[in-house]
Amino acid sequence: MHEIEAAAELLTGVGIVRPEIEKAVRNLLDAFGEDECREGLERTPERVARMYDELLAGYRVDPYALINEAVFDIEYDQMVIVRDIEFYSLCEHHMLPFIGRAHVAYVPTDKVIGLSKIPRVVDLFARRLQVQERLTRQIADFLDAALHPTGVAVVVEGLHLCSMMRGVKKANARMVTSAMLGSFKSNDATRKEFLDHISRGSPILSV
């Protein structure tokens, strides 16, 4: 079984246990020296539990079910790019957010995917505890397995609050990761065409 299929099978249906999260948040507030019963914090454990239920929703979605009715047999063999896809994720090391943009391209053989599904795939994998390197590779590997294209390319640019708010405290440091599969890895011209497209007028790359 393909690695992504196996991961989907294991993770689909896993839910957030809200009472346990609420209990953990109360313990944290107590450890911080706060009074969980004061007006501003009274419902904070409940709010935090609901937040994690939303931010980690990617664990409960089967990516194949997500795109099932939006893969079409179309004769098209040129590059397809969806760029500047905003994403929000949580770093698994400190559970602080990292945010940014993903640029995704593929060269189809005989199947294309509906436009809205690529941002949904990015969101699905972003809404888990992540590291940017794994997120980049999961997006590329899944599209490669689902569409069997000639090639897939993913570039992810992220701002990480764990290095902005703490540690080195570098507010403008950006992390860029890429995954190049098939023709994007083996063909310099194909890779250059993709990189030229995403660098043209990009809000992040042009800075």
Q: Is 94 a catalytic residue?
A: yes
Q: Residues 202, 88, 94, CA angle at the centre, nearest 5°? A: 125
Spot the catalytic one: 5, 34, 46, 94: 94
- Distance in angstroms (rounded) separating the CA atoms of residues 108 and 150: 6
Q: Please tell me which residue in 22, 138, 157, 160 is annotated as part of the active site.
A: 160
Question: With DSSP H G I counted as helix, E B as strand and the rest as coil, what are the percentages for the chain, rounded to 5?
Answer: 45, 25, 30
Q: How many helices (H) and strands (E) does the chain have?
A: 9, 7
**Residue from 9, 20, 42, 92 carrying the catalytic annotation:** 92
- Residue 107 has φ and ψ, to the nearest 5°, of -115, 105
d(CA 193, CA 198): 9
The verdict on whether 37 is a catalytic residue reads no
Pairing mode, strands 175-182 and 151-160: antiparallel
What DSSP character marks residue 175? E
Residue 88 to residue 168: CA distance in whole angstroms: 21
Q: 45 near 36, Cβ under 8 Å?
A: yes
Q: Are 136 and 184 in contact (CB under 8 A)?
A: no
Catalytic pick among 22, 130, 132, 157: 132
Known catalytic residues are: 91-94, 132, 160, 162
